[in-house]
Structure 1
């Protein structure tokens, strides 16, 4: 997206809610796998539709994994 992480974090912190849910929980597909389930959300960041991945780790920490520009339409099952 060409933005610094602080801008993305501000958008996530301010605007992300359960309504942005897309998918999850999913099993981590990294090798070796990292314990914890993956959750996917969609959010407009600076007017760009994006999907975000978070991991719910066993120690109770929710870890922001990535943000990517959406190449396809985002499907929000709870809207």
Structure 2
């Protein structure tokens, strides 16, 4: 299985918690990047966001975002 790339927006408040959980659980399976912007500014101010291999993933809170990222990783 090839490594998935997870991109977080550095301006998105709360990404650090989710990033830490992803790193802890999927350390060998993912490459994690923190970018200045991931091109979803309309969602960034309202939701937690990330991209998994380019696919936008969002959540209302850290648990929801983590769950959705985990689901994308497992595909």
Structure (1 or 2) with the greater strand fraction:
1
- TM-score, normalization by structure 1: 0.29
- TM-score, normalised to structure 2's length? 0.30
Name which one, 1 or 2, has greater alpha-carbon Rg.
1
Give the number of the structure whose residues are more often helix, by fraction: 2
